[in-house]
Structure 1
Amino acid sequence: MTLLTIVPPAQPQSSRPARERLDGRHGALLGKLAGALDVPVETFLDEAPDGEAGELFALVRHWLAIGDSQGRRRVLSAARQEAERSGYSECA
């Protein structure tokens, strides 16, 4: 049995406004994601919508807050396990 710990939402690592932090790797990743979803990058920086879209935005923000690849692999592993538990079998 896997035990998951609930942690509070990640806090921004910078006091600069989100729009000013859109540089480097994070800006490029958000740009690719926004392009794939056919939405402006600012969509991810504005107030998150209610419902599943807001949860997706929170997930993206938390993902970007994880600074090391090992931490991201752990999160991806947990997501795969939950997807499989829900019946999704095409996880790579």
Structure 2
Amino acid sequence: MTVFTIVPSAPPQPGRPVRDRPVGRQGALLEQLARELNVPAETFLDEPPDGDAGELFALVRHWLAIGDSQARRRVLSLARQEAERSGYSEVA
């Protein structure tokens, strides 16, 4: 179950809806991902862009919704298999 809380936010940017930030483990993971990508965490809560970026946002949202570690390992395993079918190989 995803839990959201209402917190004061920065003034909205024109044309962008304001969403509540996730809290707890999901919020912490989202914040870490946003820092790594050098974007605001709210980026992942806004309407997703078109194309590959939108699909990536959807994947992040779905990943955060999976609370079971075994389920996440299954999803990651499937992603690895599909990447390998597409010619990707991990470098050790």
Q: TM-score range by the shorter chain?
A: 0.7 to 0.9
1:31 aligns with 2:9: no
State the number of aligned residues: 80
Q: Which residue number corresponds to residue 10 of structure 2? A: none
Instruction: Report the identity percentage.
Output: 71
TM-score (norm 1): 0.77
Q: Which residue number corresponds to residue 87 of structure 1? A: 87
TM-score (norm 2): 0.77
Q: Which residue number corresponds to residue 19 of structure 1? A: 20
Structure with more of its chain in helix, by fraction: 1
Letter in 2 for 1:68: D
Cα distance per residue 1:43-70 (max 9 Å; x no partner): 0000000000000000000001111001
Structure 1: state its 5+ residue gaps.
1-11
Task: Judge conservation of contact 1:31–1:41 (CA < 8 Å) in 2.
Answer: yes
Letter in 1 for 2:30: L
Task: Judge conservation of contact 2:34–2:41 (CA < 8 Å) in 1.
Answer: yes
Q: SS of the residue aligned with 1:87?
A: coil
Q: Which residue number corresponds to residue 40 of structure 1? A: 40
Give, in whole Å, the separation in 2 of the partners of 1:30 and 1:75. 18
Q: SS of the residue aligned with 1:70?
A: helix
Structure 2: state its 5+ residue gaps.
7-18
Give, in whole Å, the separation in 2 of the partners of 1:15 and 1:29. 14
Q: SS of the residue aligned with 2:20?
A: helix
Task: Judge conservation of contact 2:4–2:20 (CA < 8 Å) in 1.
Answer: no
**Structure 1 stretches (4+) deviating beyond 4 angstroms?**
12-18
